[in-house]
Amino acid sequence: MKVLIILFFAFCLLTNLAFSQDDSPYKTSFKADGALIAGGVGLSYLGLTLIQNKDALTTAEVLSRSKSDVNFFDRSAVGNYSNKLDKASYYPFYASFAMPVVMLLNNNTGKKAGQVLVLYVETMALTGAMYTLTAGSVQRRRPLVYSS
């Protein structure tokens, strides 16, 4: 894993140097972007650790939950689970991971592939950090817990 991380940062550094003579709307800096990516990955790991260390609900706690315990803005979601819709909701989610590759087919963007890759990884790291830290820090049960 360490080798992959070192290779990734070396690739980012080399592509940044190779594109330094181009006119580009993207401004990347190894120090700034590297720090943001490292911070995002580190905070994502911290958030994931927080999620994994959360206490699970016991069977008694699940059975004692009722729809009236749910916040008013979540009540409409209680009891509406659909396995078919759950599976269908993953299609746009998975497609969103392919869109950056499709975007690189554009000639102007493709010429800046290294910078775009750095910006994409940076965005994913920071987004992951925000999600995992929030999910790990907030003690809130989802409406699905109250469905049965």
Q: Helix, strand, or coil here: 57?
A: coil
Dist. CA 100–CA 98, nearest whole Å:
6
Tens-place pLDDT, residues 47-101: 999 999 998 888 888 778 777 777 787 777 777 788 899 899 999 999 988 888 8
Q: Which sign does the torsion angle of CA 138, 140, 143, 148 carry?
A: positive
Nearest Cα to 147, choosing from 35, 65, 48, 29? 65
Tens-place pLDDT, residues 4-46: 666 666 666 666 555 555 577 778 889 999 999 999 999 999 9
Which amino acid, one-letter code, is at 103?
M
Nearest Cα to 120, choosing from 2, 7, 36? 36
Residues near 94 by Cβ (< 8 Å), separated by ≥ 6? none
Identify whether the C-beta of residue 28 lies closer than 8 Å to the C-beta of residue 118.
yes
Domain locations along the chain: 2-59+82-140
Q: C-alpha angle with apex 54: 51 to 56, nearest 5 degrees?
A: 120
pTM of the model: 0.69
Higher pLDDT, 115 or 42: 42
Q: How many residues does the chain have?
A: 148
Q: Residue 105 class from Cβ within 10 Å (0-12 exposed, 13-18 middle, 19+ buried)?
A: exposed
